[in-house]
Amino acid sequence: MSSTEPSQWAEKASIYLETLDLPRYTRPRLTRYLISILAFLSLIVFYTSHQPSLLISEPEFPSISIYAANNTNHLPHIPPKIWQIYLDYTPYAIMPYTSYIQSFITHSPSHTYTLLDAHGALSIISKLSTSKTHAHILPLFYAMSRRVLRADFLRYLLLAIEGGVYSDMDTEMLRPLHDWVPDEYKSRTKLIVGLEADQSPPVGGTTYEVQFCQWTLAGAAGHPALWGMVERILNEVQKRPFESPMKDVEFSDEEVLDITGPAGWTEVVYEYLSKAAGEEIGWRNLTGMRSPRLFGDILVLPIDAFASGVPHSGASGPGMGEAFVKHQFQGSWRGGDH
């Protein structure tokens, strides 16, 4: 490197320009021209030599949910995700439900909200298509001819894969998810189930004295009771004779209730409650309960939690008592093409 100062260079350059005998007015112009070229060249050199450091590489994130960490408004095991399903979605079709949808969103800051249509549902199931153990679910799903069967099945599968809260379109959230679980159970709760009925003999339209509802469910991804229910449904569907996956398999309303509906779900829940308790748990253990009970990692909520306002089972008025979700009973799935 020369020790020559830039000012000396400028001096030399101007002396050189003097010797060139150019018309006076061209000298400043020529100087500006040279400076522009130099600036342009140095910019190119700067950008080409610095380019790699401008590229942003992908950062590594912790595997736990960023929303759930240290957030007292979230449950430690149940991810902050809300799911609803409307397989025949159109903007017009969901209009009657917009205030209910809003109730879930407004009570659930930093939760994701997803309304699944048929394509979205398929993309969830397709996650399993490369799995060695679960790829068979896709053709069996297609074999479920009735939409209600598919919608029922999807809620268990969805929570088994993703975790979070599932709730029917005709339900309204009254209290946020973290309020559903008493503080002393928060660190242990991985599945939340509520009652649909609690009466002996069973309420009309139900099968068991104490029957669990499946219009609202919450759970950690991978909970064995959710997979147990998925497996149970698949076994039933598989029993039906069908040659090709696209051929319809007929199920009656009663069968739907038994297989994918509340009766089937109730049997699975009792099975897992019994496993957790290490003894047979039946309806007599749960009847008349007024506060939540934890069996292993399964939290059972009393009738008012999801079924306030029903005219039986000792339930409080609509939205009264410890009501967390209000069911509007607008389900019109029976018969027809559903």
Ligand X SMILES: *[C@@H]1O[C@H](CO)[C@@H](O)[C@H](O)[C@H]1NC(C)=O
201: cis peptide before it, omega within 30°? yes
Is residue 64 near ligand X by the rule CB under 6 A?
Answer: no
* Rounded Cα–Cα distance for residues 211 and 191 (Å): 16
The beta-strand segments (E) located in 187-330 are 191-198, 210-212, 216-219, 293-295, 298-301, 325-327
DSSP-derived letter for residue 250 is: -
Is residue 285 near ligand X by the rule CB under 6 A?
Answer: yes
Closer CB to ligand X, residue 145 or residue 285? 285
* Rounded Cα–Cα distance for residues 321 and 316 (Å): 6
Is residue 19 near ligand X by the rule CB under 6 A?
Answer: no
Stretch touching ligand X by CB under 6 A, among 26-34, 49-57, 276-284, 307-315: 276-284
Is residue 70 near ligand X by the rule CB under 6 A?
Answer: yes
- Work out which of 109, 277, 288, 331 binds ligand X, going by CB under 6 A: 277
Using N-to-C axis directions, what is the helix angle for 6-19 and 26-54, rounded to 10°?
A: 140
Q: Which residues contact 318 (CB under 8 A, 6 or more apart)?
A: 308, 309, 326
Is residue 72 near ligand X by the rule CB under 6 A?
Answer: no
Is residue 49 near ligand X by the rule CB under 6 A?
Answer: no
Closer CB to ligand X, residue 278 or residue 335? 278
Stretch touching ligand X by CB under 6 A, among 97-105, 205-213, 277-285, 328-336: 277-285
Is residue 284 near ligand X by the rule CB under 6 A?
Answer: yes
CB of residue 203 to ligand X, shortest distance in Å: 21
* Rounded Cα–Cα distance for residues 130 and 34 (Å): 63
Is residue 103 near ligand X by the rule CB under 6 A?
Answer: no
CB of residue 277 to ligand X, shortest distance in Å: 5
